């Protein structure tokens, strides 16, 4: 069942680019491409509604701690693997560790690595132009934040975009059975909570409480910090480089997303393993990748070329000499 996306999502007052000379051209969008598949989107909304169950299950330190740990692990998995590795090949790793990254990423319930990376590659090709999947300048904030991936069109997998990874049958399997890992995680958390209720009743934890905190609340938090990179990081922040899009560097979002908030840097040079280009631009994902490289789990972390680091900052509105990769 599909219904036209409500006007509040499909065509809200679109944010205007801050500089008319610099702004991508505004073009009308084909409305048929923007229909939300409500039936397939039900689990997404149910996951949000389920967070309200915290009113009944309460909280405990073990449940909140597990939620925080799972937030950190999954944000890292999305940024390091779904984004920097599968989408941009910013470092190398072994086949088994690539599979570990895919499984960790799948636990964030943002569909499979092939689906995710294929769509992201298209974003870079068309960033903030009318063919961009999720530009806030061509659909508004809510479209770029959650609307686009709930549409029938974007449930499809564009596997032709990611042929370099579709050759691995284990990745195709995981991508096809995208709810396998999240289901195991949800059941595992429930059983862990039930176990604690039996063996450590003084901790005040239950199966349902662990499920609500560790799975529902933690997942929704990961969702929305991830989505801010598509929405807010093209709206709020500083532009060091005059890329052809409206990407921005934003410290708060960089902290919440473990480095992804240096989005203007990233659009300037997407294939680098680091997105904080300078020492003061905190990039937790990159630091973690460096540590993993000491153990031989990842290698060949692609650096930012010297000419990009030394490129003079340009004032907004100046013509851009460089292209987005
Ligand atoms: Zn972007
Ligand atoms: Zn990217």
151 occurs within a structural domain: yes
Residue 313: predicted pLDDT:
77
For residue range 193-236, list pLDDT tens digits in order. 999 999 999 999 999 999 999 999 999 999 999 999 999 999 99
**How far, in Å, from the CA of 198 to the mean position of ligand 2?**
45
For residue range 119-166, list pLDDT tens digits in order. 999 999 999 888 899 999 998 999 999 999 999 889 988 899 999 999
Ligand closest to Cα of 79 equals: 2
- Residues of the domain holding 209: 3-7+38-309
Number of domains composing the chain: 1
Ligand closest to Cα of 261 equals: 1
Secondary element (H or E) of residue 4: strand 3-4
Q: How confident is the model at residue 315 (pLDDT cuts 50, 70, 90)?
A: low
260 occurs within a structural domain: yes
**How far, in Å, from the CA of 246 to the mean position of ligand 1?**
8
**How far, in Å, from the CA of 53 to the mean position of ligand 2?**
35
Question: Rounded to an integer, what distance in angstroms lies between the CA atom of residue 122 and that of residue 161?
Answer: 8
Higher per-residue confidence, 122 vs 29:
122
21 occurs within a structural domain: no
137 occurs within a structural domain: yes
Q: How confident is the model at residue 51 (pLDDT cuts 50, 70, 90)?
A: very high
Beta bridge partners of 35: 4
Ligand closest to Cα of 235 equals: 1
**How far, in Å, from the CA of 208 to the mean position of ligand 2?**
36
17 occurs within a structural domain: no
Tell me which residue has tokens 């460089």: 322
Using CA atoms, how far residue 323 sits from 40, 127, 138, 275, 318, in Å, is: 37, 11, 20, 17, 14
pLDDT of 17 over the 70 cut: no
Assign 91 to helix, strand or coil: coil
- 278: closest CA among 237, 309, 314? 309
Instruction: Give me the percent of the chain exceeding a pLDDT of 90.
Output: 79
pLDDT of 4 over the 70 cut: no
Q: How confident is the model at residue 314 (pLDDT cuts 50, 70, 90)?
A: low
Residue 323: predicted pLDDT:
41
- 246: closest CA among 22, 41, 3, 67? 22
pLDDT of 18 over the 60 cut: no
Range 178-187 average pLDDT? 97
**How far, in Å, from the CA of 87 to the mean position of ligand 2?**
7
Tell me which residue has tokens 């153990």: 295
Instruction: Give me the percent of the chain exceeding a pLDDT of 70.
Output: 86
pTM, two decimals, is 0.87
List alpha helices for 247-303, DSSP H: 251-256, 263-268, 284-294
Contacts of 8 (CB under 8 A, 6+ apart): 142
Residue 19: predicted pLDDT:
43
**How far, in Å, from the CA of 129 to the mean position of ligand 1?**
11
**How far, in Å, from the CA of 263 to the mean position of ligand 1?**
6
Residue 3: predicted pLDDT:
32
Residue 34: predicted pLDDT:
77
74 occurs within a structural domain: yes
Residue 6: predicted pLDDT:
36
**How far, in Å, from the CA of 286 to the mean position of ligand 2?**
14
pLDDT of 190 over the 70 cut: yes
Ligand closest to Cα of 272 equals: 2
15 occurs within a structural domain: no
Higher per-residue confidence, 321 vs 316:
316
Using CA atoms, how far residue 291 sits from 68, 96, 163, 270, 285, in Å, is: 21, 18, 29, 21, 10
Higher per-residue confidence, 297 vs 318:
297
**How far, in Å, from the CA of 229 to the mean position of ligand 1?**
7
pLDDT of 276 over the 90 cut: yes
pLDDT of 266 over the 50 cut: yes
Q: How confident is the model at residue 30 (pLDDT cuts 50, 70, 90)?
A: low
**How far, in Å, from the CA of 122 to the mean position of ligand 2?**
10
315 occurs within a structural domain: no
- The mean of the pLDDT values for the chain is 88
Higher per-residue confidence, 62 vs 130:
62
**How far, in Å, from the CA of 11 to the mean position of ligand 1?**
20
Q: What are phi and psi of 218, to 5 degrees?
A: -60, -45
Q: How many C-beta atoms surround the C-beta of residue 35 within 10 A?
A: 16
**How far, in Å, from the CA of 295 to the mean position of ligand 1?**
31
**How far, in Å, from the CA of 182 to the mean position of ligand 2?**
24
**How far, in Å, from the CA of 234 to the mean position of ligand 1?**
6
Q: How many C-beta atoms surround the C-beta of residue 282 within 10 A?
A: 15
């Amino acid at each position: 069942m599909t219904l036209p996306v409500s006007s509040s999502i499909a065509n809200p007052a679109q944010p205007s680019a801050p500089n008319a000379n610099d702004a991508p051209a505004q073009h009308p969008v084909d409305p048929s491409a923007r229909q939300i598949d409500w039936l397939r989107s039900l689990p997404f909304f149910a996951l949000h509604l389920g967070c309200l169950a915290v009113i009944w299950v309460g909280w405990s330190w073990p449940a909140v701690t597990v939620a925080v740990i799972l937030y950190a692990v999954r944000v890292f998995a999305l940024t390091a693997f779904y984004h920097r590795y599968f989408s941009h090949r910013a470092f190398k790793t072994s086949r088994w560790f690539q599979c570990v990254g895919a499984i960790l990423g799948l636990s964030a319930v943002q569909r499979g690595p092939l689906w995710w990376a294929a769509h992201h590659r298209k974003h870079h090709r068309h960033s903030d132009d009318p063919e961009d999947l999720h530009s806030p300048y061509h659909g508004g904030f809510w479209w770029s934040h959650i609307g686009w991936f709930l549409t029938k069109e974007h449930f499809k997998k564009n596997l032709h975009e990611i042929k370099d990874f579709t050759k691995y049958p284990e990745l195709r399997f995981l991508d096809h059975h995208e709810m396998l890992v999240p289901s195991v995680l949800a059941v595992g958390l429930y059983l862990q909570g039930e176990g604690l209720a039996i063996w450590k009743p003084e901790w005040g934890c239950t199966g349902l409480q662990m499920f609500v905190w560790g799975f529902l609340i933690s997942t929704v938090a990961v969702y929305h910090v991830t989505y801010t990179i598509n929405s807010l990081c093209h709206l709020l922040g500083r532009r060091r480089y005059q890329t052809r899009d409206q990407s921005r560097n934003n410290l708060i979002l960089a902290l919440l997303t473990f480095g992804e908030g240096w989005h203007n840097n990233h659009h300037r040079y997407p294939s680098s393993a680091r997105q904080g280009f300078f020492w003061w631009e905190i990039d937790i994902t990159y630091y973690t990748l460096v540590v993993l490289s000491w153990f031989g789990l990842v290698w060949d972390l692609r650096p930012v070329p010297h000419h990009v680091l030394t490129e003079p900052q340009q004032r907004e509105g100046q013509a851009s000499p460089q292209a987005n990769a």
